[in-house]
Amino acid sequence: MMTIIVILIVSGALIIGAVWGIYGHMSDSLEGFLVALAGGALLVSALLELIHPALKEDSIAITLSMVFAGAVIFTILDYLVKEKWGSKSGGGLLAAITLDGIPENLALGVALIGASPLSVAALSGSILLSNLPEAAGGSKEMTSNNISKKKVLLLWVGTAVILSISALLGHFLLADVPKEYLNYIKCFAGGAVAASLATEVFPKAFKKDKYWTGLATAIGLILALYLNTLGE
């Protein structure tokens, strides 16, 4: 039950963020700061929660190969969605924002398997923090491009539903996978998260709030490192 609640809260942040962006106000500097902070926290969480356990327990060569494979697959899909399939249509927009969130939510679902609440707090917290400004900024940009508020909100609701399902499937379908293979799957998700941070999160944060991006990222790193110590 706790797993379902965590996943629903994290994905629900997309809907809250979208409502914020459509009907409320978020300055560019605040959006950039929050995105950078979440990116720093998510980077640490991906390394410590998803990749590092496999480095300690399993084949280093396979571990690093899976990280690279995750980054390659995400990059290819990101290119196809945004450059070839067109992300300006309703379906393209949904595919684009869903693709950006799948690595994080898949990682969350897998990381929750057999994990204590504290050990996964940094990962779920950083995804929650990243979802809020991402949805707020994305929905604000969509409405400024003459897309109706209703359509924008429906797109983000659809995204939240899809990402919740991906996280739940990742959690329940992989619950009985041997630990070694589960670690490799986490590494694959970790590589995809790293690629998404490099192509989506940090560039967006710098564009919105370039002077404070580095500081916000460092704060995110510190928060995630501290939360990780609590889980030890």
Mean pLDDT of 147-169: 83
Tens of pLDDT, residues 201-228: 888 888 887 788 899 999 988 887 887 7
Host domain of residue 152: 29-230
Angle ∠(128,133,134) on CA atoms, nearest 5: 90
Whether 18 is covered by a domain: the verdict is no
Whether 88 is covered by a domain: the verdict is yes
Local confidence band at 68 (pLDDT 50, 70, 90 cut-offs): very high
Place of tokens 């690595």: 103
Whether 37 is covered by a domain: the verdict is yes
> Across the chain, which distance is largest between two alpha carbons, in Å?
52
SS3 148: coil
Report how many domains make up the chain.
Answer: 1
Whether 17 is covered by a domain: the verdict is no
Whether 173 is covered by a domain: the verdict is yes
Local confidence band at 85 (pLDDT 50, 70, 90 cut-offs): low
Whether 87 is covered by a domain: the verdict is yes
Q: Write down the pLDDT at residue 218.
A: 94
Q: Is residue 115 pLDDT above 90, yes or no?
A: no
Residue 123 contacts by C-beta under 8 Å, 6 or more apart in sequence?
A: 42, 45, 46, 49, 50, 107, 108, 111
Give, rounded to a whole angstrom, the gap between the first and last alpha carbons of the chain: 23
SS3 147: coil
Whether 15 is covered by a domain: the verdict is no
Q: Write down the pLDDT at residue 60.
A: 92
Whether 56 is covered by a domain: the verdict is yes
